[in-house]
Structure 1
Amino acid sequence: MSAANDPVKRRLVLRAPRAVAVAVACAVTVATVPTPAAAQRMPLIRDAEIEQLLRDYTRPILGAARLTQQNVKVTIINDRGFNAFVMDGRRIFVNAGALMESQTPNQIIGVLAHETGHIAGGHLAKLRTELANASTMAIIGILLGLGAAVAGARSNSVGGNPAAVAMAAPTSMIQRSLLAYQRQHEEQADRSGVKFLTETGQSARGMYETFKRFADQQLFAAQGADPYMMSHPMPRERIAALSEMSRTQFYDKKDSPELQLRHDMMRAKLSGFMDQPGVVARRYPPADQSLPARYARAISTYKHGDLRQAIAQIDALIQTQPNNPYFYELKGQVLLEAGRPAEAVPPLRRAVAGAPNPLLIQVMLSQALIETNDPKGADDAIKYLRQALLLDPDIADGYTQLAKAYGRKGDLPQADLAAAQAALARGDNRTARLLAIRAKERLPVGSPGWVKADDIASFRPNGAPVQRP
């Protein structure tokens, strides 16, 4: 960490024996967090409907945490495990499995409130500082141990191995110190989460229920564990504290029926896309005629069954809720992926007009417009895509579609620039640089496009030197 950035400390690490490096690594990896570069490689889920629901969940919490101006977003990871975490001050990552397992909005809102507590407390920055200090302490302690080993060899001391004890002691001590530091952060995030929920008139019951369920699962594994070697508070202690602090005046407050329905629709949508047909049929049997069950079955039919039947089921959903933009989005997606882009355009236009935040749907509509091979469609696609990417530059597929749209118009410099941005968003820095260099050669020097291309061509991840092709 900081040791690797300091020339003097770097020399110390490189000159130390391999055992030193291994011990230092053990000391500083007990509490690692994902990096922004790792986030690029995560399998993410982008969905307009689910992201809007999560924005509605987090908006009051972020307001209570005084983080509204920080533009914190919730990012969904395509993973069935129950997990949520933060890696910087801008994003909360939550697994699809956590969304699917949370039976009520309040349960996942409680998890989001806890993670917001980490951001509000600046825990990641503090942890990185602590890790840097720990690595320095480990190096010093182990080097002192090496000195003891040399002195012991020279004196030909007999019996035991005090040098080995001296080398192992700092690593064990630092591990315990870092784990204690993490436990403090978890306890602080719990308290902050309850505070944010209370200030926004929401119950902390869902937060308590969620953590209690997982604490019960951990109890067997935690039996006989050393409480000082755990990164989270011991289950019984944490749940006892949460049980007490969650008993606010809003403890028995229920989620509204409208919010519960949106939550159930989200879970059904994820199941329809992620589960096998048999799982969907067991979870949402034909006898269940609720809107979430019909939604899940329609999606599953589209993913695994007959296209005509899927469209019929989606049309039935539209008849039930003719103003639901996400039903039109689903119909447009089905038609587009079936190779019928011209038929996909009308429902996607309807979805864009009705969705509160239609940026992702605009990208899908743009793809349909491009694939109709209508020159005017390419112009409309460019308009939609530039607007979407201006407001959400993380939509990687938007750059790909923008490159195609410019290519259809014969605007090769802009097509190269958009393709370079798409490659950069994917983490393919070498391809991005090559395309950006080609775009620079075709664009007027000093123009906005040329400046963007120059930025991409000069981009060096993590300060690494630019590799010449």
Structure 2
Amino acid sequence: MMAETNLFPTASAPGSADVSGTVSAKLLRFSLSALIAGSVISSSALQASAQSQSLPIVRDAEIEALVSDYTAPILNAAGLGKKRIGIVLVNSPSFNAFVDGRRIFINTGALLQSESPNEIIGVIAHETGHLAGGHQDRLREQLRQAKTMAVIGTLLGLGAGIAGAMARNGAIAGAGGGIAAGGGEVAMRSLLSYQRSEEAAADRSAINYLNKTGQSAKGMLTTFERFASALSLNGTQIDAYRVSHPSPRDRIANLSQLAQASPHFNKKDPESLQLRHDMMRAKIAAYSGGLGALQRMFRNNPQGVGARYGDAITTYLRGSARNAIPKINALIKEQPRNPYFYEMKGEILLKANDPSAAAAAFKQASTLDPRKSSLIRMSYGRALMLTGNKANMETAIRELKSGVAKDPEFSEGYGYLAQAYGQSGQMALADLATADQHYYAGRINDAKIFATRAQTRMKSGSPDWLRAQDIINTKTKKK
């Protein structure tokens, strides 16, 4: 599992909606849960200024493949199969998902807490409903209207205040302040009411997509039951007019009849898909929660594949790479065509300081991988580079170049490529790869430094020279 905190510089979180028109992440991101702890939007939130913050992105070939398999049928059912909708994994323990542009963001916490594929597929169906319904664009229009309402309320308040002051009438002046405050309150409530209606529409669309794909909506109801239980346990008191989502109980009441009317309501996920889901959860638990989390997760099946997969990963992460190798080998023996077991074996062997054996494992993973994941190819190239054998450098560079060409925003790949170029004595290309690494990580000034240095040793007008020039010409955003 690879973490990248600045992979998507454009996926920053804008702040709140105030009378000057600043847009709120809580309002523009149509999230399924609106984070239980932060589901209530207070009036003070409308006065917050915008802040950019990078999302902690997680990259993992196995998890991305599984979530993609969950998503593809839903997107096709929604008529979005050809729209190149991206799936982004966010490293966060909370159960949440949201959309932004043409991307669906899913927290690792949602993947970890969903006990069946059907639960997370319901989440994806809901977010797809927002995309298909064009809710983001409509919400921006509602934000503009809310801004207008707030401004009018403020002007009325100012007018009343001035009139009161001129008449030396304190009561009128006081009323002016109330009108000004009321304008913002009305705008906020109107905006939240609109968003609640869009959330309900996305829920209904989700059930339609699930019916079209022959899948149950029971997982959606299970998710809302989880939220309702969390609110009950927390003793949270919610003002129904100050939330961006309908309450979990309302959503259950509204959807139960529709969900249960489907002929697919009691349909279970295929065993093979459930097994992949269990292994995904085991991997996330191993990386985020350790052995205790795994034992709790698989207490009813401690010898299952998922539990043993998580145990192998935990053993490796705790510094016992040599002890992890026989555990992953046992899993490979059971599933000799699982590319992700070989990928994990490669990671373990790298930690065991055996890059040659790791390269062989990554090569096998790449051969078996039907998706030809760019991440696995880059891992293969990186392992070859780490052998230090000059005979491996040409293949290492080829694999790394293929990987970054398919996945250009993965900045770490350029770092590996820069090392490979450096070991092969191609210093200009090493500087250019380093420039790309900084560029895709959002460090534009550093990217320009390395691009300028690379360009001095390149033929003017060549493709690499032009790429360096593009980086040099990039405009940096003013703070």
Q: Does 1:206 align with 2:219?
A: yes
- Number of equivalences: 442
* SS of residue paired to 1:24: coil
Alpha-carbon spacing, 1:31–1:296, altered in 2? closer, same or farther (3 Å)? closer
Q: Distance in 2 between matches of 1:389 and 1:98?
A: 28
Distance 1:170 1:225 in 2: 22
1:332 aligned onto 2:338: no
Cα 1:256–1:329 change in 2 (3 A) is same
Q: Which residue does the alignment assign to 1:137?
A: 149
- 1:345 paired residue among 359, 364, 387: 359
Q: Name the structure 2 match of 1:24.
A: 19
Equivalent position of 1:109 in the other structure: 121
Aligned counterparts, 1:120-269, within 5 A = 120-159=132-171, 161-219=174-232, 225-247=238-260, 248-269=262-283
Q: Tell me which amino acid in the other structure corresponds to 2:310.
A: A
Q: What pairs up with 1:55-94 in 2 under 5 angstroms? A: 55-89=68-102, 91-94=103-106
From 108, 112, 132, give the equivalent of 1:96.
108
Worse overlay, 368-377 or 168-177: 368-377
Q: In structure 1, list runs of 5 or more residues that go unmatched.
A: 1-20
Which stretch of the first structure deviates more once superposed, 206-215 or 276-285? 276-285
Whether the aligned pair in 2 keeps the contact of 1:102 and 1:108 (CA below 8 Å) is yes
1:335-369 deviations in Å (ceiling 9; x for gaps): 11232212211111100100122211111111111
Shifted more, 302-311 versus 261-270: the winner is 302-311
Q: Mean alpha-carbon deviation: is it higher for 410-419 or for 47-56?
A: 410-419
Query: What is the match of residue 374 of structure 1?
Result: 389
> Per-residue deviation at 1:305?
4.7
Of residues 236-245 and 285-294 in structure 1, the stretch that sits farther from structure 2 once superposed is: 285-294
| C-alpha spacing 1:82/1:396, structure 2 compared with 1 (3 Å) | same
CA contact (8 A) 1:311 1:331 kept: yes
Say whether the 8 Å CA contact 1:216–1:235 is kept in structure 2.
no
Counterpart amino acid of residue 73 in structure 1: G
* Aligned equivalent of 1:435, options 447, 450, 453: 450
- Whichever structure has more helix as a proportion of its residues is 1
Per the alignment, residue 316 of structure 1 pairs with: 330
Quote the Cα distance in structure 2 between the aligned partners of 1:295 and 1:365.
Answer: 21
Report the 3-state secondary structure (helix = DSSP H, G, I; strand = E; otherwise coil) of the residue aligned with 1:93: strand
Return the alpha-carbon distance in structure 2 between the equivalents of residues 264 and 287 of structure 1. 11
- What TM-score does the superposition give when structure 2 sets the normalisation length? 0.86
Q: Cα distance, 1:178 vs. partner?
A: 0.8
Contact preservation (8 Å) 2:29, 2:98: no
Q: Counterpart of 2:58 in structure 1: which amino acid?
A: I
Q: Secondary structure at the match of 2:268?
A: coil
Q: What RMSD over aligned residues (CA atoms) do the two structures have, in Å?
A: 2.6
Deviations 1:55-106 (A, max 9, x none): 11001001111112221122111111111111222x1111111111111110
**Percent identity of the aligned residues?**
43
Q: Does 1:400 align with 2:415?
A: yes
Partner letter of residue 311 of structure 2?
R
Pair 1:34–1:315, CA change in 2 (3 A): same
Q: How far off is 1:447 after superposition?
A: 2.4
Q: Which moved more, 1:145-154 or 1:160-169?
A: 145-154
Displacement, 1:158?
A: 3.2
- For structure 2, which runs of at least 5 residues remain unmatched after alignment? 1-15, 31-49
Equivalent residues of 1:277, 1:304 under 8 A apart: no
Counterparts in 2 of 1:286 and 1:311: CA distance versus 1, 3 Å: farther
Q: 1:207 to 1:429 in 2, by over 3 A?
A: same
TM-superposed CA distance for 1:285, in Å, is 6.2
Judge conservation of contact 1:277–1:300 (CA < 8 Å) in 2: yes
Deviation at residue 22 of structure 1 after TM alignment = 10
Q: 8 Å contact 1:272–1:280 — kept in the other structure?
A: yes
Distance, in Å, in 2 between the alignment partners of 1:77 and 1:222 is 28
Tell me: CA distance 1:39–1:76, structure 2 relative to 1, closer, same or farther (3 Å). Answer: farther
Q: Aligned partners of 2:370 and 2:305: how far apart in 1?
A: 21
TM-score (norm. length: structure 1): 0.87
**Aligned AA (1:235):** P
Contact 2:154/2:183 (<8 A) preserved: yes
CA distance 1:265–1:443, shift in 2 (3 Å): same
Secondary structure class of the residue paired with 2:82: helix
Q: CA deviation at 1:40?
A: 7.7
2:75·2:128 contact (CA, 8 Å) conserved in 1?
yes
Distance (whole Å) between structure 2 residues aligned to residue 379 and residue 112 of structure 1: 41
258-267 vs 209-218, greater mean Cα deviation: 209-218
Aligned to 1:425: 440
